[in-house]
Structure 1
Amino acid sequence: MTTRTIDLSVTIEDNMPAHKLFQRPVLTTHLSHESSKALGLGIEGDPMTFQTNFIAMLDHVGTHVDAFRHVSPTGASVDEMPLDMFFGKAICLDLRHIPDLGDITVADMEAAEAKSGVAVDRHIVLLCTGFHARHYPSLDAVWKNPLLTVEATRWLYERGSMMHGVEGPSTDKPTDDRFAQHRLCRELGISHWEWLVNLDALLGKREVQFFGVPLKFKGGSGSPVRAFALVDD
């Protein structure tokens, strides 16, 4: 048996699509190998040149995790949350039949759970809808993601799942400003990753090990993550 690493993160790029309420990121070269020559570092015949980049972005752009602070003024910030919330045993549910702006229901979750062959039991649950592959990097990726219903969210919570992950910029539809799913997560004390990619590579793999660990931003409402899974073949 061999173990493979599956990258589940979107590449962070200058001006990449972001949630409808959020500014797109800015990435540009700060010092290049060419411009750093003027600093005169290194030794004669072997100059030490280098590159540094300037990055300006919100903590909810690209593949990221929501801290409790994101939806609650009294919630824990990302640096205060237990580190072990951000990795662990996971299953990926096949929900590729869910259309753009569709609803992921309890019936959908139960059918996908049965198909996976693994009962949700305190797992991180990843929801593969095929949404990213259909739309990214067009602006449809911002305006057409499906909704994880409050009933389906409570279904996860009742099975001990404290963290889940979705494709696209949000667990709530962009056409609905009530943010019912986020408000329920606030009530239940659970959270999620957004804008995961390549989840189809996890389908049929039963249980995997998932990692989506945030940067330790003081007071952070969330954080970009390098999400990945370890899969046994």
Structure 2
Amino acid sequence: MEMTMKALIDLTHSFDHSMPVYPGDDCPEITQIARIAEDEYNEFCFRGGMHVGTHIDAPLHMVADGQPVSAIPVSRFFGRGRLIDARGSSEISVDLLKGARVERGDIIVVLTGWHERFRKADYFADHPLVTPAFAEELIRKEVSILALDTPTPDRHPFPIHKMLLGNGVLIIENLANVSSLVDHPSFEIVALPAKYQWDGAPVRVVAKPSP
């Protein structure tokens, strides 16, 4: 068991009160409401949106009658990972999929290197965006999830969000530590969100490299 656990790679940013948020969104508020010294236990209260830190977008986020996170079959959160190395690219284009052997049900993990700027002032500016052709190819291949180390695949009015979520492809944003996958050509992804009846949820994303 110890060897198996050591092999796991955590792709999730730690959640705290200083998490950067998408411009215009509310900042998370984390308040301690009980303390061991006075109450004999610790407890914290959280207030914030569902699209902070490493999180998953459900169809309801952009589709009027789309599924909330709680309605998505749990099997969708497990799958074979496919790393797409987009470092140095100004956009996430369909050319990056050449030779990737993408198949139905895969979880596509895109490495841009942007995760290294997560707490920097320019994190939400000038990051690579997903092209329509890239999104169309993922839809055609019937992948399960597109997971990014950037804050969003697109910008307002969010055409890529609507394309992917409208065709059943879930989106994970704000991955961490994705560069750790470069030396692992084969891996599985587990991305389990809280079972919220809303349009998104925090998610713990873990990669398990193949032996």
Q: TM-score, normalised by structure 1?
A: 0.83
Q: Does 1:14 align with 2:17?
A: yes
Contact 1:10–1:63 (CA<8 Å) still a contact in 2? Answer: yes
Q: Distance in 1 between matches of 2:24 and 2:170?
A: 19
Other-structure match for 1:212: 191
Q: Distance in 1 between matches of 2:183 and 2:160?
A: 27
Give the 5 Å matches for 1:20-39: 20-36=23-39
Q: TM-score, normalised by structure 2?
A: 0.91
Q: 1:144 to 1:27 in 2, by over 3 A?
A: farther
Using the TM superposition, give the Cα deviation of residue 79 of structure 1 relative to its aligned residue in structure 2, in angstroms: 0.6
Instruction: Give me the CA root mean square deviation.
Output: 1.6
> Once the two structures are superposed, what CA deviation does each residue of 1:75-133 show, in whole Å capped at 9, x if it has no partner?
011111111111111121211112xxx321111232xxx3xxx5111211100010011
Find the partner of 1:54 among 45, 60, 65. 45
Q: Distance in 2 between matches of 1:23 and 1:143?
A: 18
1:85 partner letter = R
Other-structure match for 1:107: 95
Q: Distance in 2 between matches of 1:160 and 1:78?
A: 19
Using the TM superposition, give the Cα deviation of residue 27 of structure 1 relative to its aligned residue in structure 2, in angstroms: 1.2
Q: Distance in 2 between matches of 1:136 and 1:59?
A: 17
Other-structure match for 1:169: 151
Q: 1:139 to 1:35 in 2, by over 3 A?
A: farther
Q: Distance in 2 between matches of 1:203 and 1:157?
A: 25
Contact 2:59–2:168 (CA<8 Å) still a contact in 1? Answer: yes
Q: 1:52 to 1:161 in 2, by over 3 A?
A: same
Contact 2:165–2:171 (CA<8 Å) still a contact in 1? Answer: no
List alignment gaps of at least 5 residues for structure 1.
37-48
Using the TM superposition, give the Cα deviation of residue 58 of structure 1 relative to its aligned residue in structure 2, in angstroms: 0.9
Question: How many residues of Structure 1 are paired with residues of Structure 2 in the alignment?
Answer: 206
Contact 1:87–1:210 (CA<8 Å) still a contact in 2? Answer: yes
Other-structure match for 2:204: 226
1:204 partner letter = D
Contact 1:32–1:51 (CA<8 Å) still a contact in 2? Answer: yes
Percent identity of equivalent pairs: 26
Using the TM superposition, give the Cα deviation of residue 204 of structure 1 relative to its aligned residue in structure 2, in angstroms: 3.4
Q: Does 1:126 align with 2:94?
A: no
